[in-house]
Amino acid sequence: MNLASMQTYDLTLDKFLTHAAKWHPYTDLVTAGDAPDASSDRIGYAALETRCRAVSGLLSRRSVKPGDRVATLAWNTRAHVEAWYGVMGMGAVCHTLNPRLTAEHLAAMVTQSEARIVIVDADLLPLARQVAEEAPGIRQILVINTPEAERGSGAGGAAVESLETLLAEGAGDPVAWGNFPETALSGLCFTSGTTGAPKGVAYTHRSSYLHTLRALQADVMAITALDAVLAVVPMFHANAWGLPFAAPAVGAKLVLPGRRSDGASLARLIREENVTIAVGVPTVWLGLMDYLDETGLQIPSLKRIIVGGAPMPPALMQRLEQGLGAIVQTSWGMTELSPLGVIMPPGAPVRSPEFSGRPAIGMDLLLTDAGGNPLPQQRGAEGHLKVRGPSVVERYLGQDQPAANADGWFPTGDLARIDEEGHLIITGRAKDLIKSGGEWINPAEIEAIISALPEVSLAAVIGQPHPKWGERPHLIVELRGEQQIDDDTLLAPLEGKVANWWIPDTVIRLSSMPLAATGKIDKQKLRADFGVLQAD
């Protein structure tokens, strides 16, 4: 007697776009025009799938096989999405490169991934040529978002060709999508390197598929077919938080800003496309609010803003919710988590920047002491945060030792608390702690208090060498607009909220805070310029 069974249905990412093409064929993917007065590019999901399959055919003609790595160096555009699905759909691995990094760093990453082809935005072609000079494994550079039928030799022997011209010449035989196991690699992204050397995180189809299902839950991103989702978070940063998978999975309109993320461009895009959900790091929304305050422009369609990647300044959260009437959802995650870890539900009765959110099914949290031993009390106590789940890294690219322990717990490097309701509160980075007189100072607590001041746009605290105490805290701020504030007034809110010896000895004002490629404050640069450069 044969036992009953269910169908084998591998969880591969191509199924999201195939579903959208069949059931939401005319829902648009929109890319902002490259100039302020340029019209947006738009394409329905059915036509998008056809083009993505053509990219797969072109890559197959170029001898790309399942498991091969294909790099992209591009902004958030339709052509980049076509490259994504064209690469992943055929079983190859999409290695997204961050164009805000140096050619030397990018070449090292490409050398490690062994990508032979780089798909590059037209305006980033000079950078791609520099990368090819230092990474001889690159044999072909395919240029997107250009009308020119560009052909020629590139640096390092890499041929340069226009992808659009090649597609017009014919893609050849169609390539079957999803003809590989769900455990196959789909994407590769390197960590930002703000706290150490960048490390490669390789995603599988299964891990990103499950991450997408988790993100779509009602207590997470809650995206539906009625939404228009603006993905300002870059596609080269942790899969744009999974939005190019999540939007077509439910038939939502996906809106991409191209390479322009200034306040004026985003406001225009939100108004024109009736964006309901916007996603990006806090610094992006600071620029948007400054523009709206200056012009008096309204964006009534916007209902929710999802932020992550860096701490949310309390003053900015208040400006967004009061000025726009939109709900701000704070979140926390990492490249190693695909990247979503926790998020505040959209209907949460209490929203505060200190709360990162709660984990949804598929993500588990554990607090330990410095030695890795679980804290006996997991609620209300501060500990070292570890996570595990089907979308959490097990091993970094090219490393022999696993990144997680035998029980699957991955150390995030964050210090955190979990309140009685299960909300995660990130209290600092273990590497950011300042040791003064043998005692620890947590910069994150100071930064949260200073960032709440209406005069302050961004704040960071780093350690400076001190002959007696070892290190002393040093406050660095970027003030908002033309605001002025003296040192005593700036530091006064710390009194009574932190220990007196935690109060920074010095204050420095910067006209522009250095930001890492992902939009976070670049503490490595601040330490190099003003403090102590910590070793990895």
pLDDT tens column, 15-50: 999 999 999 999 999 999 988 888 999 999 999 999
Structure confidence by residue, pLDDT tens digits, 466-502: 877 878 999 999 998 889 999 999 999 999 888 888 9
Residue type, 203: Y
pLDDT for the residue 436: 84
* DSSP collapsed to 3 states, 58-111: HHHHCCCCCCCEEEEECCECHHHHHHHHHHHHCCCEEEECCCCCCHHHHHHHHH
Average pLDDT, the chain: 92
Tabulate helix, strand, coil % of the chain (nearest 5). Answer: 30, 25, 45
- Token pair 């990130």 is found at 426
Catalytic one of 435, 489, 497, 506: 435
- Token pair 């570890």 is found at 386
Burial call 88-100: b when 16+ CB within 10 Å, e when fewer: bbbbbbbbbbbbb
**Is the pLDDT assigned to residue 348 strictly greater than 70?**
yes
Q: Is 191 a catalytic residue?
A: yes
Residue type, 371: G
Give start and end residues of each alpha helix (H) in 261-331.
Answer: 263-273, 282-295, 314-324
Q: Determine contact, residues 45/30, Cβ cutoff 8 Å.
A: no
State mean pLDDT over 355-359: 95
Which CB contacts under 8 angstroms, 24+ apart, belong to 146-149?
146/122, 148/122
Catalytic one of 148, 439, 440, 506: 440
pLDDT for the residue 367: 98
**Is the pLDDT assigned to residue 78 strictly greater than 50?**
yes
Q: Determine contact, residues 443/461, Cβ cutoff 8 Å.
A: yes
Backbone φ/ψ region at 496: left (φ over 0), alpha (ψ -120 to 50), beta: left
Structure confidence by residue, pLDDT tens digits, 54-72: 999 999 999 999 999 999 9
Count H helices and E strands in the chain, helices first: 14, 25
Q: Is 435 a catalytic residue?
A: yes
Catalytic one of 82, 182, 273, 336: 336
User: Which 3 state secondary structure label does DSSP give 492?
Assistant: helix
d(CA 138, CA 136): 5
d(CA 442, CA 451): 15
pLDDT-derived band at 510, boundaries 50, 70, 90: very high
Q: Provide the token pair at 393.
A: 């890294």
Q: Is 332 a catalytic residue?
A: no
d(CA 329, CA 308): 9
State pTM to two decimals.
0.86
Residues in contact with 456: Cβ distance below 8 Å, sequence separation at least 6, in sequence order? 313, 315, 450, 477, 478, 479, 480, 483, 485, 490
Residue type, 397: L
Residue type, 233: V
Q: Determine contact, residues 93/65, Cβ cutoff 8 Å.
A: no
How far CA 149 is from CA of 87, 110, 157, 482, in Å, comes to 22, 26, 19, 48
Give all domains of the chain, ordered by start, each with its CATH number.
47-202 (3.40.50.980), 433-530 (3.30.300.30)
Query: What does DSSP assign to residue 496?
Result: T
pLDDT for the residue 536: 36
Structure confidence by residue, pLDDT tens digits, 171-214: 667 899 999 999 999 999 998 654 457 899 999 999 999 999 99
Catalytic one of 31, 72, 191, 518: 191
Q: Is 468 a catalytic residue?
A: no
Q: Write the DSSP string, 409-465.
A: PEEEEEEEEE-TT--EEEEEEGGG-EEETTEEE-HHHHHHHHHTSTTEEEEEEEEEE
Within 10 A of 376 (CB to CB), how many other CB atoms are there? 7
